[in-house]
Amino acid sequence: MNLKEILSSLFTYTPDNKDTYNFNLVEDFNTKQYPDSNLGNKSNEQTKVFPSLTVNTDYLKSKYNLLINSDIIFRDFVLNARGKQYHALLVFIDGMINTKIMNEFILEPLMMRNRNNLFDNSQNRVISEAVANNITVRKVKKFNLPNYISSCLVPQNAIKQVSTFEEAISGINSGNCALFVDTLDVVFDIEVKGFNQRGIEKPSNEIVIKGPHEAFVENIRTNTSLIRRFVNNEHLVIENLNVGNITKTKCGVCYVSGIANEDLIAEVKFRMNNLDVDSLLSAGQLEQLITDSSNLNAPQLISTERPDKAASYLLDGRVIILVNGSPYAIITPGILSDFLSSPDDKNQKAIFSNFTKFIRLIAAFITLLLPGLYIAITSFHQEILPTELLFSILASRANVPFPIIFELLVLELSFELIREAGLRVPSPIGPTIGIVGALVMGQAAVSAGIVSPILIIIVAITGTASFAIPDYAFGFHLRVYRFVFIFLGYLCGFLGIALGLFAYMIATCDSKSFGVPYTVGISPFERIKGTSYYLPAIEKREYRSGFLNSKKETKQGHISMKWKRT
Amino acid sequence: MLKNLSRKIFIVILIILLLLAFSKSYATLNIDNLSVIVAMGIDISDKNHLQISFQFTNPSSVSESGTSEQAPSIIYSVDASSISSGINLINTYIGKSVNLSHCKVIAFSEEIASQGISDEIYTLINDTQIRPSTNIVISKTSARYYLEHSKPLFENLITKYYEVFSASGSYTGFTANATIGDFFNSLICQSCEPFAILGGVTNSSTESTGATNSENDTTTKSNASSLFGQSTAENTGLAVFKEDVLVGELNSIETLCFSIMRNQVDGFLISVPNPNKANSYIDLHVTPLTSPKVTVDILNGTPYIRVNCRFTGRIYSMEDNADYLNNDMLNQISNSCNSYLESILTDYMYKTSKALNSDINGFGKTARGNFLTLNDFYDYHWSEKYKDSFFEVSIDSSIRSSSLLTES
Amino acid sequence: METSKITAAEAISIILGIFVAYTLVALPRSMLETTKTATLINLIYVGVIALFITFLIYKLLIKFPGNDIVDIAEYLGGKTLKTFIGIVFIFYFLFSSSILLRNFCECLKIVYYPMTSLVFIILTFIITICITLRHRFSSIAKVNLLIIPLVIISIMFLFIANIKNFSLDNIFPIFGDGVFNTFVTGLGNLGSFGGITLLYFLPPYLKEPQKMKKVYLTSVILGIVYFLLCVSIILFMFISLMYTNQIMPLYSAARYIEFGNFFQRLESIFLLIWILQMICYLSIVTKLSISIFKKITNIRDEKPLILVFGLLIFAISLLPKNYAISKFIEDYIYHYMVIIISIFLGISLLILAYFKKRKKKELNANVEKSI
């Protein structure tokens, strides 16, 4: 490379012609993209089960979106009854039923020919016969196939005959199986609920007080069934996709078909189908692979281990991705305020959850800015400290040999060290690390005069605040950027903090998550339905998140508590 | 590749440049390099122009498990030609850069104040570190002596004392919260005159000369008070300026009038003559209801100033057989109170105009309403006409009851 | 780009941001210098005129939906006029913002960093612009919408916290330096409404063009109210302001705030908020200048331009030799620039274009009639 090339490579302008990928979910939040779907509207309309099995099958297939739905099983077989054969269909949801019961007590008796069943008489059965005066009086029971099946063929404890699709579907959704038999206009709702997977455990990373205590597990089928039990509606679609050229990891894309925005679903599938990776081993990897580019590395997709959280977002119109082998679900899209809200918020009265939300907001600011502000104030702007406070800081620093920046960095880094060590060691030792780190080291450092007690307080407050952030990834993001602000505060005080904050805000406002502006709903002047950071009272939570432009705008009636009006 | 590398190098250079540039400010502003001044005193010295005293406190005794010993205050004095050079000298002397942003009090000696202090005030107000809310004290003794005796009696930290002492004016009225910002504003304003707290040092013995000067407790002022006890600084009364020159002092009751006129006092105690008994007094606790209404008219070229104040009050003292719940009795006391307050306020105002010729109440601001343009007002020369003013004070006070729990 | 459209609230906050940025440095003082104690009256009088001008601009702009003044200049006088108008406005934006930056940094230097060279303080701003301008205009507008309420709250807080220091007599004598000075010479205060310039450039960015009238009038009315707030703080607090030269009057007012013994010396926090506003203003103005430049030169890629414009601002802000010159520019030349460029030049251009359009329409009508 000669000098000319070096110079030209340094100073010539090469146009940057590649267009950045730019997907917008909604251009204008106030115009509706779709007409309102009638999903969930109360109607007493009931569809009777048809006598023909093929008609029933088609009806159910359309109801359950069978072409794309991955966990709905339609099992065709031939049923033997009294030597006659009927076509029959079992409908159930994979993962919600007990396969053993299913095999041994439903399919086996129905399909096997047993002796009783061989009796080839479709005629009436004579129960008793009495002959008197040459007149034969026969007590006859008419042959009734439905009763016969339920009383003789299915040795299952709970079986119910229903005659409408609505009842049948609600049974299926809750984990029963439905038996359709050709020529019959009734359905058998047979209880086969059960799991044969590893037990579901309490969530360990997202703790709530009033919510349910169940967590996702590694098996995707169990996870889908967990979601299904919460959503409990046939419009929940779980599509299968395989990601990874070698591993072909099974991923489930879940959404409620009457609510979720079609463009969003298409975009999620588009991104997942266009991944050229050899392997996909966890939800965390997938999250990074499909996220929009972000300069800030703030999390833009929510990952949760709670099925109830996933279900509530599903019903909001978002799309959930499950990855086989990973006990986390990814929720798309995620906006900034989602990372500061906990599933517990909706279980309490609005005033309490808004108070905690406010606390979390403060916690976020403290995590991000407090050490930076401390260094800025002590280095450049000591005049804003009250005189007594200044004196106590000065006094506490009297014996400290290090400059403040060094002291602060040492303490912040050792805090991160303790945190990381506490995570990595085997769990019985974990608390010990905390005690050793926090108490012994802190106390020793102060009494040795290496750090000042004020600084210990600053670092401790920052650390505590960072744990108040409900989302782990977001807390991590703030903790990392804290160091940037420490540096800026050290560099040029409030000026650096202000300029850094501005750049940070711009970058945050600029990023998008699946075509949704990341900071939507943050500004109080933006009126988008259902997207305020603070929760309204429960009777006013009328709208789904407006930025999604979902197919069904409202999630409860204008007057939700109708009992008050009657 | 190369471009990326060069960009990275450029960024690193930029950061280093900025670090270097800002580290200069860092070095002077970092709290480790600062020594905090809590008060400043300015005297005239024989050799040079000014003698400047700086009061520091040693903060390290503040902390360490809250020991209750008093933080010692350290006073350094330097002779310098100006305040800035004095600060420069003290910087070299103590080896740290002094910071004035926590300075609570600036004391001037009486001597320098009567020569004019506008240069010093301009210097101080132009300093970004000096707060406009810093109290300004004119000390009857030398400023250094005043600072030396400004010892907190009840606090460990001297700054706490400095923060609190000026606030006592709001419930006694015997001192006013005079700040350097107000002083400066009044100094350059053409329709009002500056004022400052009058400070002094209490004599340690009873048989001092100062104590005999005061006839009763309402006419005390600093260095002439009936206080005795430990030798500490005291701040009673007010120093009155005309432009930047000290022209007179107000004693405590006049300061109270001043505080009433500026609406700085929340409530105060006065002794009014007992209407039913000659030569006896009743103590009243009086609270202003509204800020005083001032109207200024220009009659035949001289200002005619009318002041109307409204008060409410309660009786504090108790005596035998006095029926304080009697309507007539209360009315009589109200009238007595009215005439007493009217007389002291009128006296006070004529003192400011005739004797001192200094409009510290800022009547001139109200007087501007009589003029349409600023030039008309300037042509009137308010500060010269003020001494010809007529005053009419009307007091409207109503004594509600006694504030006692028991009825005598 | 579709995504750089802004909502009505964001547009209002952008226009307001221009008004606000100037008050943070010296605008209240220079207004008070012109009309002394009559400033409040003068401001209402000038505000009504500004409102009328805004309405006129709106009426004319609405005839050319979705076009900014550069497009209209092209319609009127072809490419030459387009280039000329573009350059005039770029010059105006860059010049006024660099001088403002310079003066703001002078204040920062005095208050925060007495030992740091001015060049580096300005440099920090320039670096930040170079980083932030890579993002979309709508993002900057969104951040502006977050910052503006903060600034206005800070000013209101300043007003409320200083009420105890106010003396309402300070508005007397009511006509200051005389009636002529208040109502004729005082017209110079029209130059404070620099935000009006932005009105010419917003139409292509508006997400809801039908709300244009509301946006324009609301922002100017809010601007007038804001000016009244600022000026009354200064006027009621410092009667003496006319005789002294405080470089940042609002900052001086902030120094007087005190709540008890603990909450004192809060002015650094005010300055922190104001720095945010200043950098926001700079970003908006530079982004607009870049977009004008892109329009007149048909350059697509704006990344290299960011650096060029950043360096231009840096250079211009270092041009004045001392603070006296930059203060003179901000107090006087800026006012005349606003009046000449953004009021006279802009409106006359719009009126000419309007007549041309009407003539064309008549011509077309005649042609149709004859056919």
**Contacts with C114 from chain B: Cβ below 8 Å:** 25, 28-29, 128
State the chains in contact with A (3 or more Cβ–Cβ pairs under 8 Å): B, C
Q: A506 vs C279: CB contact, 8 Å cut-off? A: no
Q: A378 vs B30: CB contact, 8 Å cut-off? A: yes
Instruction: Check pLDDT > 60 for residue B361.
Output: yes
CA angle centred on A64, ends A61 and A65, rounded to 5°:
80
**Contacts with B63 from chain A: Cβ below 8 Å:** 392, 395-396, 398
pLDDT tens digit sequence for B47-60? 767 888 888 887 66
Domain membership flag for residue A529: no
Q: Which residue of B has its CA nearest to C261?
A: B163
Q: B185 vs C238: CB contact, 8 Å cut-off? A: yes
Instruction: Check pLDDT > 80 for residue C153.
Output: yes
The confidence score (pLDDT) of residue A319 equals: 92
**Numbered residues of chain C with Cβ closer than 8 Å to any chain B Cβ:** 36-37, 110-117, 119-120, 123-124, 127, 167, 169-170, 172-178, 238-240, 243-244, 252, 255-256, 258, 261, 264-265
Residues 296-315, chain C, touching A (beta carbon < 8 A): 300-301, 303-304
Residues A184 and A235 in one domain: no
Q: Which residue of B has its CA nearest to C252?
A: B132
The confidence score (pLDDT) of residue B218 equals: 62
Q: Which residue of C has its CA nearest to B375?
A: C177
Q: C112 vs A380: CB contact, 8 Å cut-off? A: yes
- Residue C173: cis peptide before it, omega within 30 degrees of 0: yes
Closest by Cα among B228, B282, B280, B288 to B259: B288
Q: How far apart are the first and last CA of chain A?
A: 87
The alpha carbon of residue A495 is apart from the nearest alpha carbon of chain B, in Å, by 11
CB proximity C16 to A under 8 Å: no
- Residue C65: cis peptide before it, omega within 30 degrees of 0: no
Q: Which of the four pLDDT bands, split at 50, 70 and 90, describes residue A218? A: confident
Domain extent at residue A414: 358-517
Q: Which residue of A has its CA nearest to C132?
A: A503
**Contacts with B362 from chain C: Cβ below 8 Å:** 167, 169
Query: Does the domain spanning C2-370 belong to CATH 1.10.10.10?
Result: no
Residues A468 and A363 in one domain: yes
Residues A85 and A181 in one domain: yes
Supply the DSSP string of B104-131, one letter for each residue: -EEEEEHHHHTT--HHHHHHHHH-SSS-
**Contacts with B102 from chain A: Cβ below 8 Å:** 383, 387, 390
CB proximity A381 to C under 8 Å: yes
Average pLDDT on B143-162 reads 78
**Contacts with A28 from chain C: Cβ below 8 Å:** 207
Among A9, A396, A397, the residue with its CB nearest the CB of B32 is: A397
The alpha carbon of residue C368 is apart from the nearest alpha carbon of chain A, in Å, by 39
Domain membership flag for residue A10: no
The confidence score (pLDDT) of residue A483 equals: 93
Residues A502 and A362 in one domain: yes
Closest by Cα among B191, B12, B198, B42 to B107: B42
Q: B31 vs A388: CB contact, 8 Å cut-off? A: no
Number of Cβ within a 10 Å radius of residue A532: 15
Q: B377 vs C175: CB contact, 8 Å cut-off? A: no
Average pLDDT on A288-300 reads 82
Residue pair A279/A312 in contact (Cβ under 8 Å)? The answer is no
pLDDT tens digit sequence for B185-236? 888 877 788 888 888 887 654 444 444 444 455 666 666 666 666 657 777 8
- Topology of domain B267-408 in CATH is GMP Synthetase; Chain A, domain 3 (3.30.300)
Domain ranges of chain C: 2-370
**Which residues lie closer than 8 Å to A225 by C-beta, 6 or more apart?**
A71, A93, A94, A95, A96, A175, A195
Average pLDDT on B233-242 reads 82
The SS3 call for residue A121 is coil
Handedness of CA C339, C345, C346, C351 (dihedral sign): positive
CB proximity C108 to A under 8 Å: yes
The confidence score (pLDDT) of residue A372 equals: 93
Q: What is d(CA B167, CA C244) in angstroms, rounded to the nearest whole number?
A: 30
Domain membership flag for residue A197: no
Q: Which residue of C has its CA nearest to A388?
A: C262
Mean pLDDT (chain C, rounded): 85
**Contacts with A398 from chain B: Cβ below 8 Å:** 59-60, 63
Q: Give the DSSP H/E element, type plus range, for residue A156.
A: none
**Which residues lie closer than 8 Å to C301 by C-beta, 6 or more apart?**
A15, A16
The confidence score (pLDDT) of residue A228 equals: 86
CB proximity A27 to C under 8 Å: yes
Residues 220-279, chain C, touching A (beta carbon < 8 A): 261-269, 271-273, 275-276, 279
The SS3 call for residue A542 is coil
Tell me the two tokens of residue C87. 């350059």
Residue with token string 């414009």: C309
pLDDT tens digit sequence for C27-86? 888 888 777 778 888 889 889 999 999 999 888 888 888 788 888 888 888 888 889 889
pLDDT tens digit sequence for A261-287? 888 999 999 999 988 888 888 888 898
State the chains in contact with C (3 or more Cβ–Cβ pairs under 8 Å): A, B
Lowest mean pLDDT among A143-157, A319-333, B122-136: A143-157
Q: Which residue of B has its CA nearest to A382?
A: B31
Residue pair B313/B337 in contact (Cβ under 8 Å)? The answer is yes
**Contacts with B97 from chain C: Cβ below 8 Å:** none
Lowest mean pLDDT among A345-359, B144-158, C232-246: C232-246
Among A381, A386, A523, the residue with its CB nearest the CB of C145 is: A523
Q: C261 vs B362: CB contact, 8 Å cut-off? A: no
Q: C9 vs A13: CB contact, 8 Å cut-off? A: no
CA–CA distances in Å: residue B31 to residues A397, A445, A448: 10, 21, 21
Instruction: Check pLDDT > 60 for residue A257.
Output: yes
Paired residues of A397 in beta bridges: none
CA–CA distances in Å: residue A534 to residues A222, A342, A361, C103, C283: 33, 12, 11, 40, 30
Domain ranges of chain B: 33-262, 267-408
Tell me the two tokens of residue A356. 């905690």
Burial class (CB in 10 A: 0-12, 13-18, 19+), C358: exposed
Task: Give one word for A511, left, alpha or beta, with left for phi > 0 and alpha for psi -120 to 50.
Answer: beta
Q: A27 vs C131: CB contact, 8 Å cut-off? A: no
Closest by Cα among C222, C223, C225, C203 to C212: C203
Residues A511 and A399 in one domain: yes
Q: Which of the four pLDDT bands, split at 50, 70 and 90, describes residue B319? A: low
Q: A6 vs B2: CB contact, 8 Å cut-off? A: yes
Q: What is d(CA B195, CA B348) in angstroms, rounded to the nearest whole number?
A: 15
Closest by Cα among A332, A319, A321 to A223: A321
Question: Can you give the three-state secondary structure of A221-282, one letter per residue?
Answer: HHHHHHHHHHHCCCCEEEEEEEECCCCCEEEEEEEECCCCCHHHHHHHHHHHHCCCCCCCCC
The alpha carbon of residue A45 is apart from the nearest alpha carbon of chain C, in Å, by 43
Instruction: Check pLDDT > 70 for residue A244.
Output: yes
Lowest mean pLDDT among A51-65, A158-172, B2-16, B162-176: B162-176
Q: Give the DSSP H/E element, type plus range, for residue A127.
A: strand A125-132
The confidence score (pLDDT) of residue B209 equals: 41
Closest by Cα among B122, B104, B129 to B40: B104
**Contacts with B2 from chain A: Cβ below 8 Å:** 6, 9-10
Mean pLDDT (chain A, rounded): 82
Average pLDDT on B9-38 reads 85
Radius of gyration of chain C (CA): 21
The residue type found at A521 is G
Residues A328 and A399 in one domain: no
The confidence score (pLDDT) of residue A321 equals: 93
Q: Which of the four pLDDT bands, split at 50, 70 and 90, describes residue C304? A: confident
Number of domains comprising chain A:
3
More confident residue, B219 or A225: A225
Average pLDDT on A97-125 reads 71
Q: A503 vs C264: CB contact, 8 Å cut-off? A: no
Q: What is d(CA C51, CA C216) in angstroms, rounded to the nearest whole number?
A: 9
Instruction: Check pLDDT > 90 for residue A359.
Output: yes
Q: CA dihedral defined by A441, A446, A448, A450, rounded to 10 degrees?
A: 90
Residue with token string 């990776």: A277
Q: B59 vs A10: CB contact, 8 Å cut-off? A: no
pLDDT tens digit sequence for A125-140? 556 667 777 777 766 6
Handedness of CA A312, A316, A322, A326 (dihedral sign): negative
